[in-house]
């Protein structure tokens, strides 16, 4: 067959839930176009049932991921960076199409995203030393504070930073032992869905990250009110009305809420995205001759 008559094999994009790649249970899709309106692919239009399945997967994975050593989590995040490096050209193309960037600018974005994974990988076994420690108290006690992950975190991913912004909100959540349900950028979901393929081959346990594509306005209220979701990151909820509605829904079971804010994801990140979804456990332990028993709060 001559090359001129060969048909391209178009990629079928799927969700990433529980370490697997399901289509939306509703069977719905929507068209994704590039910055000039050219058709790129059909993306799954996730339903509330898909969102519930993602929460179940995230909750099931939480115990093992939170219980893993910080060193092991760091190794796995570094492995994600390794896998992305190997598929760099694919992501340069997808990011360029999604955000209307030249090849050189898209390459710079992808390189920054890979470096961001490495940066957070290095923090996994250090963040506890920064935000925990021994506290001075009045009495014969050791008082020690240690950070623990909050639990299942729903993330509304940035709308206009389809890859660097996406990585910048996912990596700190899982670096500290949380699991995530991610609503990808509605208009540019393809880099996020491709990231699922990388995560599936990077030793990350299934369910630690779950990626949905579709409408945040449809899935967001359900996830914000879900009793088995512990926190929500509203970074991509740029519609003020949607952000307010999700925050109100999250209040029903006292979820932690990270409100949307103006960010330049190209800047060096601080530790605030890691500490946003950590809780502090304080342990009191008697010293001297009072005995060896202790208590925690």
Confidence (pLDDT) at 187: 94
- Share above pLDDT 90 across residues of the chain, in percent, rounded to a whole number: 77
Task: Look at the chain and report how many structural domains it folds into.
Answer: 1
Q: What is the rounded distance in angstroms from the CA atom of residue 77 to the CA atom of residue 173?
A: 11
Tell me the CATH number at 281: 3.40.605.10
Question: Is 162 a residue whose pLDDT tops 50?
Answer: yes
Confidence (pLDDT) at 290: 46
Confidence (pLDDT) at 15: 97
Nearest to 84 by CA among 43, 44, 120: 120
In a domain, 74, yes or no: yes
In a domain, 256, yes or no: yes
Q: What are the backbone angles phi and psi of residue 258, rounded to the nearest 5°?
A: -100, 110
Question: Is 254 a residue whose pLDDT tops 90?
Answer: no
Query: For residue 121, what are the contacts with CB-CB under 8 A and spacing of at least 6?
Result: 74, 75, 77, 78, 80, 81, 175
Q: What is the pLDDT of residues 35-78, one digit of tens each?
A: 889 999 999 999 999 999 999 999 999 999 999 999 999 999 99
In a domain, 3, yes or no: no
In a domain, 5, yes or no: no
In a domain, 4, yes or no: no
Domain that holds residue 36: 13-296
- Number of Cβ within a 10 Å radius of residue 124: 25
In a domain, 96, yes or no: yes
């Amino acid at each position: 067959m001559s090359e001129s008559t060969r048909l391209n094999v178009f990629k079928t994009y799927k969700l990433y839930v529980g370490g697997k790649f399901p289509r939306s249970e509703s069977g719905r899709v929507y068209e994704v176009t590039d910055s000039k309106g050219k058709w790129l692919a059909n993306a799954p239009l996730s339903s509330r049932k898909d969102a519930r399945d993602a929460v179940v997967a995230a909750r099931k994975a939480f115990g093992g991921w939170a219980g893993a050593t910080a060193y092991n989590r760091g190794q796995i995040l570094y492995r994600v960076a390794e896998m992305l490096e190997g598929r760099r050209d694919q992501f340069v193309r997808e990011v360029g199409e999604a955000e209307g960037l030249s090849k050189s600018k898209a390459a710079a974005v992808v390189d920054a995203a890979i470096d961001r994974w490495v940066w957070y990988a290095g923090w996994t076994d250090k963040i506890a030393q920064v935000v925990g420690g021994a506290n001075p108290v009045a009495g014969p006690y050791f008082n020690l504070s240690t950070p623990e992950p909050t639990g299942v975190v729903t993330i509304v991913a940035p709308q206009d930073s389809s890859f660097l912004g996406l990585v910048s909100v996912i990596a700190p959540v899982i670096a500290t032992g949380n699991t995530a349900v991610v609503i990808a950028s509605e208009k540019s979901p393809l880099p996020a869905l491709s990231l699922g393929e990388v995560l599936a081959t990077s030793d990350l346990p299934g369910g630690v990250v779950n990626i949905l594509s579709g409408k945040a306005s449809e899935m967001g209220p359900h996830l914000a009110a879900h009793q088995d979701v512990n926190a929500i990151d509203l970074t991509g909820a740029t519609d003020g009305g949607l952000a307010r509605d999700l925050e109100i829904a999250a209040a029903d079971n006292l979820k932690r809420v990270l409100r949307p804010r103006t960010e330049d994801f190209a800047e060096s990140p601080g530790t605030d995205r890691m500490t946003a979804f950590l809780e502090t456990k304080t342990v009191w332990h008697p010293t001297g001759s009072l005995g060896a028993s202790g208590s925690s709060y």
